[in-house]
Amino acid sequence: MSKAHTSIFALVLMLVASMLFVACGESESPTADDAASSDYIVKSTDRISATASAPSEARFPEGEDNDEVSPTGAGPVKPCSFVPRDEASAILGAPVQVTTGEQGPTCIYETQGSKRVMTLVVERISLPSLRNHASAATRVAVAGRAGWCLRYQSTSLVVPLAEGNVLNVTGPCEAATRFAARAIPRIAS
């Protein structure tokens, strides 16, 4: 089959598939099951709580794990304090905007006027797993520790910390190593 025939065949196949997809939509009319199920709704007169109608403050059960509070009593991790804006600007050679991302939390350093982005996060993750899943892993020295420059779709530097935590800095390894060297002394071990 020629390229032209193959292209036409693929186009026709996509057209038929999209028509089938559109035709399979749900109708808006109620069904017999919908009407029958509304007959079984029972109004309740039970009170939700013995208190007044005002909601009560949520409390975590005593003696249970709570991922919002460190068992050591340490406060939450603030990764942007590990490498301040002026130091990040010096490392990257340009002014940076610093924001905190939700996950991790993650500190995001973005150079102004370009799309160069570095991130820094302390996370509890298996370092051997990170190394094993990378397409390339190169051992590097960072602030007197062994770290790993990892290659996935992008590069990152990971350095083991205390209690199974890992410092993860994404971006070019040279810059990431400089970020990590600044951050490690400020991270409580």
Tell me the per-residue pLDDT of 87-113, one tens digit each, with 9 for 90 and over.
999 999 999 999 998 777 899 999 987
155 within some domain = yes
Encode pLDDT of 114-138 as tens digits: 778 999 999 888 888 888 889 999 9
* Rounded average pLDDT over 166-183: 94
Q: What average pLDDT score do residues 150-160 get? A: 92
Here the CATH number for the domain that contains residue 147 is 3.40.1000
Residue 36 lies inside a defined structural domain of this protein: no
Q: How confident is the model at residue 47 (pLDDT cuts 50, 70, 90)?
A: low
Instruction: Return the percentage of the chain with pLDDT > 90, whole number.
Output: 36
pLDDT at 51 over 80: no
> CA nearest 157: which of 186, 110, 185, 122?
122
The pLDDT of residue 66:
46
**pLDDT of res. 40:** 64
Instruction: Evaluate whether residue 102 is within a structural domain.
Output: yes
pLDDT of amino acid 187: 87
Please count the structural domains in the chain: 1
Could you tell me if residue 28 is inside a domain?
Answer: no
Q: In this structure, are residues 60 and 75 in contact, taking their beta carbons and an 8 Å threshold?
A: no
CB 145 within 8 A of CB 84: no
Amino acid sitting at position 140: V
d(CA 185, CA 188): 8
Looking at this protein, which amino acid is placed at residue 29? Answer: S
In-domain check, residue 98: yes
How distant, in Å, are the alpha carbons of 31, 73, 82, 156, 167 from that of 77?
53, 12, 10, 20, 12
pLDDT in tens, 7-45: 676 666 666 566 655 555 555 555 555 555 556 666 666
Whether 168 is covered by a domain: the verdict is: yes
Give the per-residue pLDDT at 164: 87
Report the pLDDT value the prediction gives residue 8, as an integer from 0 to 100.
72
What is d(CA 183, CA 90) in angstroms, rounded to the nearest whole number?
A: 14
Q: Is the pLDDT of residue 64 over 90?
A: no
DSSP 75: -
In which domain, by residue range, is 92 found? 79-186
Mean pLDDT score, 65-82: 64
With respect to residue 24, please indicate whether it lies within any of the assigned structural domains: no
H/E element holding 155?
strand 155-160
Report residue 41 as tokens.
Answer: 């709704």
150 pLDDT more than 90 = yes
Residue 52 lies inside a defined structural domain of this protein: no
